Structure 1
Amino acid sequence: MKKKTYQLLMDLTHNPLYASVLKRSVESRLSRWIVPSFAKTFKINEEEAEKQINDFYSLQDFFTRHLKEGSRPVSMLEKAVVSPVDGSMTAAGEISPAQTFEVKGMIHDLHTLLRRPDKITRYAGGSYGIFYLSPREYHRIHAPVSGKVISRWALGEFSEPVNDLAFQFGVQPLSSNYRLITEIQTETGKVAVVKIGALNVNSVHYAHLHDEMQKGEEFAYFGFGSTVILLFEPGMIKWTKEQGSVLKQGEAFCFLKK
């Protein structure tokens, strides 16, 4: 019952007023009293957290928790691309030459996702991976590769829930929600990291704005939810993990081609 209640609080977010009230509530010190219940309901591993369960200021503070050093070892295998988050790789494959890709039976397009003609052309015919974070996951976002940051931009004004119900009703939240996009130049090619919010409060934030990224380095986080999409230029990677794989941040899921 508690799990359904918490999930409902995260899904009923289309109304801006409700989302605003929810945001203030989870940031309030009063919300700290439901942190133990939230952790137990979603079976969150409290031992990994940098702070003790009773030391978090609010539910938001707990949701955006840091982990103890060493909790997420980063693959140092040559050319390994690592998962930017804890989560499920719900979809992965090739982007069509027509600039579309499929998620849960719905066709999405790069034009709606990226909105910039030069970027759309760059990733047409390339590869994509989509990583979904559940409420129990660690919600910090880390660099999947090392390289130079060549562009950043934001799109979208509000966010729909990113869940199966949204897809069933024809909503395309991955291509229309509020999102922050970071593009990284590697020795092999370019990678776009699309960070997508799941709540109307658009709680996707940068941790820093450095010009260089090291693989495994934290650079953003979700206040709530939800999904990260990685885009690769054509012929850039070879897959080692299949769609549906559950990954930990720092775990290799594909390799850059030499």
Structure 2
Amino acid sequence: MEKWLYRFLIELTNHKFTSNLLKNFSRSRMSRLFINSYAKAYKINVEEMMDDIQSYQTLHEFFIRRLKSDARVIDPAEETVASPVDGVIEEFGTILPSKEILVKGKLYSIEEMLGDPARMEKYMDGSFVILYLSPSHYHRIHSPLNAHLVDQYVLGNRSYPVNKYGLKYGKSTLSKNYRVVSELKHHSAHIAMVKVGAMFINTIECTYKNENWKKGEEIAYFSFGSTVVLLFEKGTFTLNNKIKTPYHVKMGESIGSMHE
């Protein structure tokens, strides 16, 4: 019953009209009136923001706020993988022989997520990490390591929520939602970085156009809450053994290491 009701409510509200209504409001001057209450409700640390809270003209500007240059420390070791976002590691594990990952007791197709069987093959039996961003988190996305951007493309047109309930009860949210896939190469190892849009607002704005990514550099931002999925080739990545789900992480913090 809970699963059916959740899906019914999401389908009821998952339409362009509702999405555009919320998107337009968040960009309106009227939305500025809600910034202070939003910050208090989500316990946002205003001291680490680059700009004073009174300087933001809309809720959208506040959603995509930047931080002071010293607010996050980027792990300096060459082979470590830094968290690309502030968020919660909700799941990690091994990609199954069925080309799926198990998330909150539910199977998701990696082949469908990447949109191409040929791209999927290199990640068979590899590792995955899922990082969820709530509306309270800093929403800028950064490069997890020094790498070369091999390809980048857009897939999907849905906007199911990507929180723990969306992952558990939604219809293939990670595989069907609007998403931007970046395929990276670190030395000889490939990494897929899938940026998944969230309910109502599917904005994923790529801000970095260079093909060579430096660890910690900003490469994109989300509007509202969203998720990042990292996929690694078999035998190329080891997760930090201190990580147990759910694990709260800051951008720049090491989540594991690469090896060949």
The answer to whether the superposition gives a TM-score over 0.5 is: yes
Q: 1:12 to 1:79 in 2, by over 3 A?
A: farther
2:157 is paired with a residue whose SS is: coil
Deviations for 1:182-212, whole angstroms, at most 9, x for unmatched residues? 0111014011110000134411110122111
Residue of structure 2 equivalent to 1:256: 258
Letter in 2 for 1:252: S
Q: Residue 21 of structure 1 aligns with which residue? A: 21
Residue 179 of structure 1 pairs with residue 179 of structure 2: yes
Q: Provide TM-score, normalisation by structure 1.
A: 0.92
2:232 pairs with 1:219: no
Structure 1 residue runs of 4+, over 6 Å off?
none
**Where does structure 1 lack aligned partners over 5 or more consecutive residues?**
1-9
CA distance in 2, matches of 1:88, 1:146: 22
Shift of 1:244: 2.1
Aligned to 1:76: 76
Which sections of structure 2, spanning at least 5 residues, go unmatched?
1-9
Q: Distance in 1 between matches of 2:83 and 2:239?
A: 12
The alignment of Structure 1 onto Structure 2 pairs a total of residues equal to: 249
SS, match of residue 123 in structure 1: coil
Task: For residue 249 of structure 1, report the CA deviation from its aligned partner.
Answer: 0.2
Q: Give me the whole-angstrom Cα distance separating, in 1, the residues matched to 2:171 and 2:163.
A: 10
One-letter code aligned to 1:234: K
Kindly report which structure 2 residues correspond to 1:22-37, keeping only aligned pairs within 5 A, or say none.
Answer: 22-37=22-37
* Counterpart AA for 1:28: S
Give how far 1:77 is off: 2.0
Q: Distance in 1 between matches of 2:169 and 2:102?
A: 16
- 1:253 deviates by 0.7
| One-letter identity of the residue aligned with 2:141 | I
Q: Which residue of 2 aligns with 1:244?
A: 246
CA distance in structure 1 between the aligned counterparts of 2:53 and 2:141, rounded to whole angstroms: 21
Decide whether aligned partners of structure 1 residues 47 and 12 sit closer, same or farther in structure 2, where only a CA change above 3 A counts. farther
2:199 maps to 199
Rounded to whole Å, the distance in 1 between the matches of 2:128 and 2:196 is 15
Instruction: Select between 81-90 and 170-179 the one with higher mean Cα deviation.
Output: 170-179
Identity of aligned residues (%): 37
Question: Secondary structure of 1:20's match?
Answer: helix
Q: Offset at 1:167? A: 3.9
| Aligned partners of 2:208 and 2:220 also within 8 Å | yes
3-state DSSP of counterpart to 2:153: strand
The one-letter amino acid of 2:205's match is: H
Q: Is the 8 A contact 2:27 2:59 kept in 1?
A: yes
Deviation at 1:13, TM superposition (A): 4.5
RMSD: 1.7
Q: How many angstroms apart in 2 are the aligned matches of 1:69 and 1:13?
A: 38
For the residues of structure 2 that align with 1:189 and 1:169, how far apart are their CA atoms? Answer: 33
Q: Is the 1:188–1:236 contact (alpha carbons within 8 Å) kept by the matching residues of 2?
A: no
Corresponding letter in the other structure for 1:148: H
Cα distance, 1:230–1:204 mapped onto 2, change above 3 Å: same
The residue aligned with 2:157 is: 157
**TM-score scaled by length of structure 2:** 0.91
Residue 11 of structure 1 deviates from its aligned partner by 11
- The superposition leaves residues 158-181 of structure 1 with CA deviations (integer Å, 9 ceiling, x where unpaired) of 211113433443522111100001
- The equivalent residue for 1:7 is none
